[in-house]
Structures are given as C-alpha cells and as structure tokens.
Amino acid sequence: MDFPDNFTNSSIDTPTPPESNLSMGTEDSPPSQPARSIWNVLALTFLGCLVAATFAWNLLVLATIARVRTFHRVPHNLVASLAISDVLVAALVMPLSLVHELAGRHWHLGERLCQVWVACDVLCCTASIWNVTAIALDRYWSITRHLDYTLRVRRRVCAALLVVTWVVSAVISLAPLTFGWGQLYSESEQVCQVSRELSYTLFSTVSAFFLPLSVVLFVYCRIYRAAKCRAAFRKNNCVRPTAEAGKKEEKEGEKEGEGKEGEGKEGEGKEGEEKEGEKKEGEEGKKHGRENETPNCCLRFLLRLRVGPAAQRAEYSAGDNRVTIHTDAEALREHREQRAAVMVGILIGVFAVCWLPFFTTELVSPLCDCDLPGVWKSLFLWLGYSNSFFNPFIYTAFNKTYKSAFKNLFCRQS
C-alpha cells in the first residue's frame, strides 16, 4: 500500500484511529534518522581531521627542508615541490570541498569562488600527480644510469621536470576558463564541478592521470628489472681459481718457503695437497664447460682497477670454491637502491589506489552518459585527496635523513 509523501506530518496534526494505527505500523522508521545523522557527523569529523593532518604534515616537511642545509639540493627540490602542491590541496581545495559536502553537494558561494575552487582543485591535484611522476623518473635515472646521471645533469633534469609539472598543471586547470571549454557553474541547479565537456574530459583525465600513471608503471618495471639484474650479476660476478693459477701460486709459495727454516717439508706437503685439489677443480670445470672461470691474476687486476677509499676496504669472501669482491661503497649503494626501489613501488601503489577510481569514473561517466550516486562521488574524490596525506609518510618512512631531521626539529623546539 502506497502512502502520500506528507503522510507523516498530517498524522501528527490530526491523529485519527486509522491513521494512528498506520503510524504505529510505520513506527520503526524514525529511529533510522538519528543513526544516519551520527554517521554523517562521524564522516565529516574524519574528513576535517584529514584536512588538518594533511596540511600539518606537509607543512612540517617544508619546514624541515627549509631548516636543513643538506636538503637545499637535488633531489629534495622535487620533494619540496610535492609538499607544496599537497599543502595547497589541504589549504585551498579540501576545506571548500568539505563545505560542499556539508551543503549536500550544492554550491551556495557564487560563481567566482566556484571558478577559483575548481581551478585550484585541478591545478594542485595535477601538480601533485606529476610531482610523483618526476620523483619516480629521478629515482629511475639515478639507479639505472648512475654513471651518466651526474650532479650537474641531475640539476638540469630536475629543473626541467619541475617546469613541465607546473606548466602542464596550469594548462589543464585554466583551459576551461581561458577557452570557455565547458561549464563549471550552474546557478539554477546550484552545481559547481569540473567541466563535463567530452573533449575536455578526455584531455584532462589522460594528461592529468593516465599518462603519468603509464609513465610511473613503466619506470617501476624498469627499476625492478634493473635491481633484479644487478643482484643476479653480483651473484655471478665471482672468481674461480683454476689449475694454472694454482701452479703460479705454488711457485710463489715455494719461493717464500725457501726463505723459512724448519717449514720446508710441511710447506711441500701442503702445496702438494693444494695442487691435487686444484687439478680436480680444473677437471670438474672442464667437464661442466664453465666459461666464467677466471685465474687469480684476473682477480688482482680487478682489484687494481678499483680506486679510491672503497678499494682500500675491498675484501674477499670465499665459499664453494668462489671468491667474490665486496666493498663498503657497493654494499651501501645497493642498500640505497633497494630502499629507493621499495619507496618508489609503495609511492606508485598508493598513488594508483587513491586516484584510479576517481579518474576512471570521470572518464567513463561522459562516455556512457551515466552518473554515479553522490555518495560514491564523494568517496572517490576524498580517496584521491588522501594521497596528499600519504605522500609525506612514505618519504619519511624510507628516508633516515628525514627521520633524524624531524627528531632534531622537535628536540630543538622542546
């Protein structure tokens, strides 16, 4: 049985026996309203805390970069640019988005402020996405081309990446206002949103998200492949002693043994045992057809090629008839590369999870002429905003320098 829309109000004013019975039948509906209001209050409180935490955390990153002199160089300028874009998202975009949610996704603040809000939204979010792409590219080149990617080249590349990031973001955000590319505000419907023009939707979604996403995915695949190949190369970059090298070492041992008294017989016995063992190893190597056998003179030659303080700390590690060269510089560099690869992977994963639902719906909706419910729109939008909150956490979690800088900053303040 269907009831009129104003049934509840009329039953309260003039209750009659039939209506009172009907009202008793619909008595369970009012308690659901307080539950909805509680959930709305909790959601809005959570969003308010997210706005404040995003602003404070990125501002702390900027303060740390400004105070520590070691951060006044590449690649920390890319991190500073990312923090600036995220601070602008938290300061200019997220508060007005929260007001928009409080008003039931209706806009009551006028056309001018609507245009400013939409332009800042597209500018800051696109800049944040492209800054993530720039950081991924910088890490990729520093890992795969560390010899050619010198400090001077890195400065120029980082400066070019910053210019491209903010120019592309400005073009995407100002295109609707400059060229009249679609409508942002409707006074009759009280709607303020990004232009729904199909051509602009394709242009903005591809250039602001799907192109950077493809770049960072390609970069991470190459970083992972390079790290895997380097680990395999280190395992195979070893030296196996051969029979010829054993003979040379035997002769050297005999010359040294001649100058010692009382150790001649023992030395000859040991040298004979070593010679037999080396011959066996040489025969096994020939049977298996190993091409990577290298005499010990090659090992000395490799050590001579190593110059600098790392060469003085070069060590041998022997196991299973293998001798591998280890240096402190190589170990430190490989450790940094592994941490950088993990950091870039987590950064890309969080970036994709946060923004992929929003941009997918923004691209599909105009194509299929369909619209999502407001709840899902809000959920996907704020999930994308949360990426600005996660970015500084990822850097501080995988960078000991930032951790120590934060500790020093708080200790000085306390």
| Residue 169 contacts residue 126 (beta carbons within 8 Å) | yes
Block residue for tokens 């196996």: 240
Given a cut of 60, whether residue 144 has pLDDT beyond it is: yes
The pLDDT score that the predictor gives to residue 235 is: 61
DSSP sequence for 109-174: S-HHHHHHHHHHHHHHHHHHHHHHHHHHHHHHHHHH-TTT--HHHHHHHHHHHHHHHHHHHHHHHH
| Residue 95 contacts residue 127 (beta carbons within 8 Å) | no
- What value does the CA radius of gyration of the chain take, rounded to a whole number of Å? 33
Domain ranges (residues) in the chain = 38-232+335-413, 238-259+268-326
What values do phi and psi take at 315, rounded to 5? -130, 160
Given a cut of 50, whether residue 34 has pLDDT beyond it is: no
Given a cut of 80, whether residue 245 has pLDDT beyond it is: no
**Pairwise CA distance, residues 59 & 389, whole Å:** 11
Given a cut of 70, whether residue 363 has pLDDT beyond it is: yes
Regarding predicted confidence, which is higher, 303 or 355? 355
Mean pLDDT for all residues in the chain: 74
The pLDDT score that the predictor gives to residue 10 is: 38
Place domain 38-232+335-413 in its CATH homologous superfamily: Rhodopsin 7-helix transmembrane proteins (1.20.1070.10)
What three-state secondary structure class fits 315? strand
Nearest by Cα to 190 from 109, 123, 69, 107: 107
Q: Which helix (H) or strand (E) holds 60?
A: helix 32-67
Question: Per-residue pLDDT averaged across 83-112, rounded?
Answer: 92
**Pairwise CA distance, residues 246 & 119, whole Å:** 75
**Pairwise CA distance, residues 309 & 131, whole Å:** 36
pLDDT band at 145 (very low <50, low <70, confident <90, very high): confident
**Pairwise CA distance, residues 263 & 402, whole Å:** 59
Pick the range with the lowest mean pLDDT from 69-73, 188-192, 304-308, 312-316.
304-308
**Pairwise CA distance, residues 315 & 251, whole Å:** 24
Question: Per-residue pLDDT averaged across 351-375, rounded?
Answer: 88
pLDDT band at 395 (very low <50, low <70, confident <90, very high): confident
Total-model pTM: 0.70
**Pairwise CA distance, residues 234 & 238, whole Å:** 8
